[in-house]
Structure formats: C-alpha cells, structure tokens
C-alpha cells in the first residue's frame, strides 16, 4: 500500500511524510505544513476577531502547559510583541516545575516573564480554604484574573492573551448550554473588549484543538508540564471533554462546527441583549476594578490580616 501524501505537498509538488491527520478538516499533513497550517489558522483568528495588531503590547498568561507556552512561542514567531506572566499557585512540585518551563521558554525566545507568587501575595492555593469557603478552582480563577489585569495594566500592556483551546471553549459552552446559563453564554467570546480599567482579553487558540496545540508545542521542541493541575481531577469540564471527544470521534468536525456556529449565530444576539448590565467601580483598597466596594482579593487579604 502506498503511504498517504501530505495534502499541501501534493498541491505544491513536494513530498514529505504525513505526520498529522486532521479528519475534521479532511487534511493529512507533513510536519512543516502542519506548523504552517496552524500558524495561519491562528493568524486568521486574530484578524477575524480583531484581537490585536503588531502595534499592540501583548501579555500572555502562561501556566507552563502546552497551550499557553505554544501560544507565546507562536505569537513571538509571527512577530507580535508578546511577553509572559506566570502566576505561581504554590502547589508543591507542580508549580515549581511549570514555572521552570515558563522560564525556559522566556530564555529561549528572549522575552520578559513576570512571575507573581501567590504564597508571597496571599497564601498557597491549597491553604486558602482557611479563609474562604469557595473551592480552590474558583479562588484560583479570581486571583488569576486579578493579577493578570493588574500586572498588564501596571506594565503598560494593551491586550491580555490566554491559551484556551477549542476543547476548553467547547466544554465550557456545552456546560453553559446544559444549564442554560445565559449570563455566561453572553460572555463566552474569544474577545472581551476593554471595559474601563479591565484590559481587552483574547483567546487566539479558540479554533485550535487540544491535540493540534500539543503537536505544535512538541514539534517546536518546547517542554511543558504534562500532568493536569492536581485540583482539576474532579472538574466537570474533564467529563464534558470526554463526552465531546466521543462525539468528535463518531463525527469528525462536531466540535468546531458547534463552537463556530455558536459564535456566528447565537453569541451576537446574546451580547446585544445583555449589554452593559454590570456596574463596575474601583476597589476602595487597591484601586482594581470590582463590582463590590472592596474587591475579592482585598477581602481575602483582610481576612488573613494582611491589610
């Protein structure tokens, strides 16, 4: 049997071995053309959603995982002005390893990496339950949003980028649809515009699957943390991902069709309906944007006796 030919090589008259099968797009690609295809797709997403231009200063939130490190590398390669921010959650071993990977990439591409240590700012994420009844992941989300916005604004960045991939977005979308959580659905978009002191937030990998993102990072020789965060074990998003993967295997393209259909058909209607419903003010203690008098992070600091 003759081995399959790379779809793009076939058109260009080259002949490199196929390394990636993308049944959702009916493509079989060699390594070089896969990298080109993925970068083109991200560039197209950036342009389509008007995420940023080469004049913007981008801060990428890097966790040490494949998606955010791959994204940082890709933006740098495409000539965007992108630095990194790593938030060290103080999880034994996991945090020090992932921090190392973020630092390694910063050295390789010669870009600035800011590091915020939760242990220094508040307490390790695992100790927070002493001061809050919220689950670790919910607290983590709050502190990450807070420091991302704060560091980006203080250091003069214009856009915040995160490495959420298609599988992440589809799992959240599915969950929000199951619960008909209209408020969350209205905010689920790859671009959230700047809102007063909140910076513009973008997800350039929203049309790249988890597998594609992992291959991009591996093919570029970037080391990343492989185990999931220990707190993610029970997350319902993992169950959703498993279920959606079964659908994808039965019908390739299900995820991308579901997601892009939502962005095209429903998201604009929901955004129109819920426009300007939240009143923002500035935290009386730290000056960061909040919906309450004192922001959640300062409330935590107060309980800890740190302010």
* List of residues contacting ligand Q46 (CB under 6 A): 125, 136-137, 140-141, 229, 231-232
Going by DSSP bridges, is the β-strand pair 81-88/57-62 parallel, antiparallel, or unpaired? parallel
Identify which of residues 76 and 164 has a Cβ nearer to ligand Q46 in the complex. 164
Angle between helices 210-219 and 166-178 (to 10 degrees): 160
Residue 283 binds Zn ion, judged by CB under 5 A: yes
CB of 89 to ligand Q46, least distance (A): 6
What tokens does 94 get?
Answer: 């996991």
Residue 298 binds Zn ion, judged by CB under 5 A: yes
Q: Which of the listed partners (ligand Q46, Zn ion, none) does 136 bind, with a CB threshold of 5 to 8 Å by partner kind?
A: ligand Q46
Strand partners, 83: 59
Question: Contact 74/40 with Cβ under 8 angstroms?
Answer: no
Residue 30 binds Zn ion, judged by CB under 5 A: yes
| Rounded CA separation 75/46 (Å) | 10
Going by DSSP bridges, is the β-strand pair 191-192/200-202 parallel, antiparallel, or unpaired? antiparallel
Q: Which of the listed partners (Zn ion, ligand Q46, none) does 140 bind, with a CB threshold of 5 to 8 Å by partner kind?
A: ligand Q46
Identify which of residues 119 and 232 has a Cβ nearer to ligand Q46 in the complex. 232
Identify which of residues 8 and 152 has a Cβ nearer to Zn ion in the complex. 8
Radius of gyration of the chain (CA): 20
Identify which of residues 1 and 233 has a Cβ nearer to ligand Q46 in the complex. 233
Identify which of residues 124 and 197 has a Cβ nearer to ligand Q46 in the complex. 124
Cα angle 217-219-222, degrees, rounded to a multiple of 5? 45
Using CB under 5 A, which of 21, 137, 282, 286 touches Zn ion?
286
Question: Contact 112/91 with Cβ under 8 angstroms?
Answer: no
CB of 87 to ligand Q46, least distance (A): 9
CB of 128 to ligand Q46, least distance (A): 10
Strand partners, 58: 82, 159
Q: In Å, how far are 89, 125, 137, 191, 237 from 128, measured between CA atoms? A: 11, 5, 11, 31, 22
SS3 state of residue 75: helix
Q: Which of the listed partners (Zn ion, ligand Q46, none) does 283 bind, with a CB threshold of 5 to 8 Å by partner kind?
A: Zn ion
CB of 162 to ligand Q46, least distance (A): 10
Identify which of residues 68 and 299 has a Cβ nearer to ligand Q46 in the complex. 68
Residues in contact with Zn ion by CB under 5 A are 6, 8-9, 16, 30, 33, 283, 285-286, 288, 295, 298
């Amino acid at each position: 049997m003759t081995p399959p030919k790379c779809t793009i090589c076939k058109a260009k008259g080259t002949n490199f071995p196929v390394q990636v099968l993308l049944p959702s797009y009916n493509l079989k690609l060699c390594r070089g053309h896969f990298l080109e295809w993925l970068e083109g797709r991200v560039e197209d997403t950036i342009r389509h959603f008007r995420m940023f231009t080469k004049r913007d200063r981008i801060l990428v939130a890097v966790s040490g995982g494949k998606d955010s490190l791959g994204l940082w590398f890709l933006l740098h390669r495409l000539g965007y002005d992108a630095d990194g921010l790593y938030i060290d959650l103080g999880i034994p071993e996991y945090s020090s390893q992932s921090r190392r990977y973020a630092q390694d990439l910063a050295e390789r591409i010669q870009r600035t990496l800011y590091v915020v240590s939760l242990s220094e700012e508040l307490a390790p994420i695992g100790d927070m339950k002493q001061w809050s009844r919220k689950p670790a992941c919910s607290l983590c989300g709050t502190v990450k949003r807070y420091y991302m916005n704060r560091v980006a604004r203080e250091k003069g960045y214009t856009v915040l980028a995160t490495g959420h991939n298609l599988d992440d977005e589809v799992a959240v979308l599915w969950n929000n649809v199951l619960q008909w959580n209209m408020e969350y659905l209205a905010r689920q978009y790859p671009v959230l515009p700047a809102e007063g002191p909140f910076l513009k937030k973008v997800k350039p990998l929203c049309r790249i699957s988890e597998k594609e993102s992992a291959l991009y990072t591996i093919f570029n020789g970037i080391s990343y943390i492989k185990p999931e965060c220990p707190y993610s074990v029970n997350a319902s998003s993992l169950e959703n991902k498993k279920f959606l993967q079964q659908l994808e295997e039965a019908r390739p393209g299900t995820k991308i069709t579901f997601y892009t259909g939502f962005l095209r058909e429903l998201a604009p209607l929901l955004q129109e309906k819920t426009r300007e419903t939240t009143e923002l003010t500035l935290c009386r203690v730290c000056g960061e944007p909040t919906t309450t008098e004192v922001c959640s992070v300062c409330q935590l600091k107060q309980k800890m006796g740190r302010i």
